[in-house]
Amino acid sequence: MARIEINHVTKQFGSLTALDSVALKLEKGQIVGLLGPNGSGKTTLIKILNGLLQPTAGNVTINGMEPGVGTKRVVAYLPDRNALPDYMTASQLMDIYQDFFEDFDRQKAEAMVDDLGIDRRQAMKKMSKGTKEKLQLCLVMARQAEVYLLDEPIGGVDPATRDYILKTIISNYNEDAVVIISTHLISDVESVLDDVVFLKEGKVVLHQAADEIREEKGESVDKLFREVFKC
């Protein structure tokens, strides 16, 4: 059984088809890049994996379970926009995570928060956009989860922080976990990916190992992306 199974998932919003019969099996021990231009269905797919949206047809399982209480225990989710109460300080948010998630490693979160120079006593709403994103990522990555669903984790941060985040993902990597990173900033993440999934207009148009792409096509994943999604 694969860690994540997506069985012919279709999602329609009225007449718009956001996902069109997406089928994927993702094994543990992998870092997977979910890549596609804006509006290709990345966030919709991640929300379905989190049980925040229901598919119109098909189903998904994580460790054989449909999204619900059982999967939330093992899934660490970084949403594409802030979902935390922003009147709270970094310290209070760490308290919340500690209460909610058994696998939350408080020490690790504090170390990351300090490394990134985030003031633990500052309310989230007073933080800059980038700092808010950093804090959310610290909270998510400090969990010892089996599945990490990271929706645009590096979109709004500076290149130095980007390196730190990617290093955090690498150092956090373990054989039992699967990490899914959705992004369109491909050149920044491609060296950390095992597998690459291209989503185009709600369909999977490619699912291949990143190094295989470089070997077969003699070009980077970034370059291939620019070709496949040429406007």
Residue 129 in the binding site for other proteins (CB under 8 A): no
- x/- site string to other proteins, residues 17 to 46, per CB under 8 A? ------------xxx---------------
Question: Could you report how far apart the first and last alpha carbons of the chain are, in Å?
Answer: 38
Measured CA to CA, the distance from residue 112 to residue 66 in angstroms comes to 32
Pick the closest to residue 190 from 181, 199, 179 (CA basis): 181
Contacts to other proteins from residues 178-217, by CB under 8 A:
191-194, 210-212, 214-215, 217
Instruction: Report, in Å, the least distance between residue 31 CB and other proteins.
Output: 6
Measured CA to CA, the distance from residue 50 to residue 28 in angstroms comes to 17
Instruction: Please give the full DSSP string across 158-190, using - where no structure is assigned.
Output: -HHHHHHHHHHHHHH--TT-EEEEEES-HHHHG
Residue 105 in the binding site for other proteins (CB under 8 A): no
Nearest to other proteins of 31, 137 (CB atom) = 31
Residue 160 in the binding site for other proteins (CB under 8 A): no
Residue 144 in the binding site for other proteins (CB under 8 A): no
Residue 115 in the binding site for other proteins (CB under 8 A): no
> Using alpha carbons only, what angle is made at residue 135 by residues 89 and 132, rounded to the nearest 5 degrees?
80
Residues binding other proteins (CB under 8 A): 29-31, 163, 166-167, 170-171, 173, 191-194, 210-212, 214-215, 217-220, 222-223
